[in-house]
Amino acid sequence: MPLSHAILGFLEYGPMSGYDLKKHFDRSVAHFWSATQSHIYKALEQLESEGLVTSQVIPQEGRPNRKQYQITDMGRSELRHWVSTPLPVESPRLAWLIQVFFAHDLANEEIANLFKKRIEYLRTYLSQLQNAQKNIDETSKKVAVKRVQSLWQLTLDYGIDNYKSEIDWLEKMLPIIHELPPLTQPKIKS
C-alpha cells in the first residue's frame, strides 16, 4: 500500500486535489515512485472509505468543481505507523536483465549494444534528476523546514547514487561481453 501512504504523506502537508497530488508526485518523488492519475484517484477513494482522508467539494467559477482531500487523525496515525515500520527488502523486477539472461542467440555486439543503450538511458535519467533537484529546492522553500528538506534530499541522493552505480557496473561489463564465448544453443540437462 505504498501509494496510499505516499498520498497520506503529501496530504499531511495540506489539503489537495487528486490533480495537485499528481503534480507533487511528478515534482518530488518520481525518481523513485511514480503514480498515474487514475491510481491516485482509486487510492483516494479507498483511503476515504477507510476513514483515513475526508473530501470536500469546492465550487469554482467557470470551471468544474474541485474535490479536495484532507488527512484525518486516523490517517496521520496510519502514516506514522507505516513510516516507522521497517519494510522487507523487495525483489527487483528488471525486465532488461531478463533480456540479458536469455540473450544467448544474440551476437556479443548486440548484447553490448543493449548495455550501451541502457547507459545512454540512465545518463538521460540522471540529467532529469537535476530537474528533480530544482523541484525539491523550490518546493522545500515553501515547506521551510530544514529536517523535511534534508529527508527529501536523501531520497534524491539515493536515486543519483543508484543510477551512477548501475552505469559504472554496465561500463565494467562491456569488455566481458565482448569476450563472451561463441553463440550456442543452450540445453538444460535433466
When comparing pLDDT for 91 and 6, which is higher?
6
Say if residue 131 is in the same domain as residue 78: no
Asked whether residue 133 is assigned to any structural domain, the reply reads yes
Domain endpoint, select from 62, 83, 104: 83
Question: Cβ(55)–Cβ(36) under 8 Å?
Answer: no
* Single residue among 83, 104, 139 that ends a domain in this structure: 83
Tally of domains in the chain:
2
pTM of the model: 0.77
The half-sphere exposure of 68 on its side-chain side, counting CA atoms within 13 A, is: 11
Q: Would 18 be classed as within a structural domain?
A: yes
Q: For residues 6 and 33, give the distance between their C-alpha atoms in angstroms, rounded to a whole number.
A: 9
Q: 10 Å Cβ neighbour count for 187?
A: 6
Q: pLDDT tens across 51-102, in order?
A: 999 999 999 899 889 999 999 999 999 999 999 999 999 888 899 999 999 9
Handedness of CA 36, 39, 45, 46 (dihedral sign): negative
Nearest CA to 54 out of 78, 36, 35, 74 is that of: 74
Amino acid identity of 35? A
| CA-to-CA dists, residue 128 to 73, 83, 124, 167, angstroms | 36, 27, 6, 15
